[in-house]
Amino acid sequence: MRWIFLLLLLGCPTRAARALGATQPFALHKVAEGIYTHIGAIALMNAGNEGGIANLSFIIGDKGIAVIDTGGSVREGRRFLAAIRTLSHKPILYVINTHVHPDHVFGNGAFVAPGTIFVGSRKLPATLSAQGPYYLKSFAPAMGPAMLADVTIVPPTLLVDRKLRLDLGDRVLILKAWAGGHSGTDISVEDMRTKTLVAGDLLFVRHIPVVDDSLLGYLADTRELALSDAATIVPGHGPVPQDWHRAVAKQAAYLETIKAELQADLKQGKGLAQSVQHVGESQRAQWQLFDDYNARNATTGFAELEWK
Amino acid sequence: MTLRRRDLLNTLGYGIGTAWLGRMPALAAALESDPQDPAIWPSLVTGIFNDQTLEDGRGILELEAPYRAENAAIVPIGMKVHLASGDPRSLQKLWLIVDENPSPLVGEFNIGPHSGLRELRTRIRINAYSDVHAVAKLSDGKLYMVKAFVKAAGGCSAPMVEASASPAQIGKMQFRRLGGYTDLSPKRVEGVLMIRHPNNSGLQMDPISMLYIPAHFVQKIDIWQGKDLILSMEGGISISQDPHFRFDYNSNGAEDVHVRAVDTKGAVFEQSWKLGKPTI
């Protein structure tokens, strides 16, 4: 695959760029013909990175554009929109949120416009309204009040129950709702023309996978993802892998490991506090942000598996 | 936050058994103070312990709490009493308190007089960076206190997981008896009790109606082996969804363990487990 690296300087250091907090250029990778992805930082959301940790993509069709995820703040969303506008002035027909997490939806406010339809899982409106206020509160210390002041919770109006077909004119997108495991609200977007699958957080690369909903569900989703016939898979975090089969297998191996170790601990009667101290430790070298998420993944998995 | 705390007081009125009612004014005063106000602990001592002297519990009571909670809605906490083998005192009661939670008193745990219980673990919600206090009453009549600081935020309003949200699941229980720990005396065993219950804190929002889900939680649990009480808990909204208790005790040879739990809607969940005679 041929990679083109585009550096989009937002008008260089203009006043407007500074006002947006644009301290770094907003880089876009061309993933396939008419498909671009901004690769987020492998980091936790904070004021310094404007919440810009998730991968953000867009697909240009001849009728208009579909945006996939909007970033971790309205500031990041605006910078993303400005970057899109350097490549195309077609209308933004759809804003698709791959799931409920703040790093993917907090930028929605930057994209609210007449004629733009927000799209998400059938479960997303309810989950967003339940968790949105909680996210705003719990991310305030790290993001700072200024960064979150203009963040609004924008729910989707077009919902994906199982599959949904979106027509951008010269290309068709198939949106698929997954059983859920990462977040319970996960959908993927596949461009049928280039067989590019934008997977959201169904796939993590380099960044340790995060289990927010269900360990077993996430494992099932990962196994199903392995059966995809996509040519390219764009993960929710980390670079687009050259060999996505390897990336999916690596994620499955991590989830399998913690599942097996948790089950062994439960069988031996170990408690939660004791178990999370060692589960997954053999996978440490494989992932970034291991200390930030591994014990949390183990906690979620433990509370789930002990009832099985 | 203040508004939520007031709402909670108004709607709940700490309707958690009459024993709590006398404490309401002091607790209310404490709850309306600034979340970071260091004065909250003294007012809790007044509200919960009626200003009784709290001895330094270090060396007697051990509080196991993570410095950073991985998941603020499921924070594992352990309390363990260390008494030398010749010490005539025994454990009578434990309290667990999270100073900064909307309802700071997580639970009161009465220890069965013949249970020999010395160690209790549970999982709690922690709503903000907070001191966690554990207090033990020994048979000498004195209260022994230790504390730990836990970094966690948002545990009380974290949305609930679907599994136990379905009414059909509520009240399902599991009891397991563990054993075989080499450092325990021959009759010493460990029990794990799990109850499916949303334990709604009253601070969680209904995704559909956008209204706060009324507080609905397990407020009392009694655990017996045969006719002997092992543990009796009175708890509040800070116990995690799917309440979970793990404790050690002296098996008295009874073949059954019996649990009775009551929630704030008055639902009673009761179950017995045949364990067979202790094999050790």
Q: Given CA atoms A77, A31, A240, A176 in this order, what sign does their dihedral have?
A: positive
Cα–Cα distance for residue pair B73/B75, rounded to 1 Å:
6
- Spell out the domain ranges in chain A: 4-243
Sheet containing A65-68, strands listed edge to edge, beginning at the edge strand earlier in sequence: A4-6, A28-32, A35-38, A56-60, A65-68, A92-96, A117-121, A158-160
pLDDT higher than threshold 50 for residue B102: yes
Residue B279 lies in a domain: no
The pair of structure tokens assigned to B120 is 């209790």
Contacts of B24 (CB under 8 A, 6+ apart): B9, B13, B14
pLDDT tens digits, residue range B35-74?
Answer: 455 678 999 999 999 999 999 999 999 999 998 888 888 8
Of A125-139, A209-223, B11-25, which gets the smallest average pLDDT? Answer: B11-25
The pair of structure tokens assigned to B70 is 């991985």
Cα–Cα distance for residue pair B200/B181, rounded to 1 Å:
35
**Residue B275 phi/psi, 5° resolution?**
-105, -15
Cα–Cα distance for residue pair B35/B27, rounded to 1 Å:
13
- The model's confidence at residue A199, banded by pLDDT at 50, 70 and 90, is very high
Asked if B190's CB is within 8 angstroms of A130's CB, the reply is no
Q: Which residues of B touch A280 (CB under 8 A)?
A: none
Domain around B93 = 2-274
Residue B280 lies in a domain: no
Residue B12 lies in a domain: yes
pLDDT tens digits, residue range A121-147?
Answer: 999 998 888 788 878 888 888 899 899
ipTM given for this complex = 0.72
Of A114-118, A266-270, B76-80, B268-272, which gets the smallest average pLDDT? Answer: A266-270
Looking at CATH, the fold of the domain delimited by A4-243 is given as Metallo-beta-lactamase; Chain A (3.60.15)
Residue B165 lies in a domain: yes
Of A178-182, A191-195, B105-109, B163-167, which gets the smallest average pLDDT? Answer: B163-167
Cβ-based burial of B232 (10 A; exposed 0-12, middle 13-18, buried ≥19): middle
Closest residue of chain A to B243, computed from CA coordinates: A303
Does A308 contact chain B (CB < 8 Å)?
no
Residue indicated by tokens 């050690």: B248
One DSSP character per residue, B210-246 reads: -SBPPPB-EEEEEEEETTEEEEEEEE-TTBPSS-EEE
Q: How many CB pairs under 8 A join A and B?
A: 65
pLDDT tens digits, residue range B108-119?
Answer: 999 999 999 999
Return the closest-CA partner of residue B43 out of B109, B100, B128: B100
pLDDT higher than threshold 60 for residue A301: yes
Between positions 61 and 90 of B, the ones with CB within 8 A of A are 64, 66, 70-72, 74, 76, 78
Cα–Cα distance for residue pair B93/B136, rounded to 1 Å:
6
Q: Which residues of B touch A307 (CB under 8 A)?
A: 163, 174, 194, 196, 242
Residue B263 lies in a domain: yes
Return the closest-CA partner of residue A110 out of A85, A144, A135, A140: A85
- Chain B: give the shortest CA distance to residue A295, in Å: 6
- The model's confidence at residue B98, banded by pLDDT at 50, 70 and 90, is very high
- The model's confidence at residue A19, banded by pLDDT at 50, 70 and 90, is very low
Share of chain B above pLDDT 90, in %: 53
Closest residue of chain B to A305, computed from CA coordinates: B163
Residue indicated by tokens 């009673």: B268
